[in-house]
């Protein structure tokens, strides 16, 4: 099952970001009246039906909503060496947060190409 991420949730409607919309419509070829599942990163999951679909904006009507109130019985801490590209680091951090990583630490290794990280940019 394919999950999409959005924090733009209004009453019974969800609007996907431009990036998520492009992925949904162009890459995965979803269209109006298709069912999708959206998560908000706060433990909520929404089963939706696409009401308006184009590459720039996908709107979906919420059919069912679920809250995952189960507590985790584990703690995930990832240690990563900074990559040469800041964009790749930002992408990694974004995805790690989306899947529920609790803590991310940076380590400088012998062959690290980047020795400094701008933490203000990451936060």
What are 11-55's pLDDT values in tens digits? 899 999 999 999 999 999 999 999 999 998 888 899 999 999 988
62 and 111 housed in the same domain: no
Run of H or E including 115: none
Question: How far apart are the C-alpha atoms of 38 and 9, rounded to whole Å?
Answer: 10
CA atoms within 13 A on the CB side of 32: 5
9 and 53 housed in the same domain: yes
Domain span at 90: 77-122
Give this prediction's pTM. Answer: 0.59
22 and 54 housed in the same domain: yes
86 and 109 housed in the same domain: yes
Q: What is the pLDDT of residues 3-19, one digit of tens each?
A: 999 999 998 999 999 99
23 and 54 housed in the same domain: yes
Instruction: Give the chain's domain count.
Output: 2
28 and 60 housed in the same domain: yes
9 and 28 housed in the same domain: yes
Asked if 42 and 58 touch (Cβ cutoff 8 Å), the reply is no
Nearest to 8 by CA among 36, 17, 67, 100: 17
8 and 63 housed in the same domain: yes
């Amino acid at each position: 099952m394919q999950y999409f991420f959005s924090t733009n949730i209004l009453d019974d409607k969800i609007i996907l970001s431009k990036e998520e919309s492009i992925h949904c419509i162009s890459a995965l070829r979803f269209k109006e009246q298709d069912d999708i599942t959206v998560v908000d990163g706060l433990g909520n999951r929404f089963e939706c039906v696409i009401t308006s679909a184009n590459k720039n904006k996908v709107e979906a009507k919420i059919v069912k909503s679920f809250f995952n109130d189960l507590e985790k019985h584990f703690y995930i801490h990832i240690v990563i060496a900074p990559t040469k590209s800041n964009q790749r680091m930002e992408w990694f951090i974004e995805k790690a947060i989306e899947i529920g990583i609790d803590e991310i630490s940076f380590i400088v290794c012998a062959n690290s190409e980047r020795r400094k990280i701008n933490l203000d940019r990451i936060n």
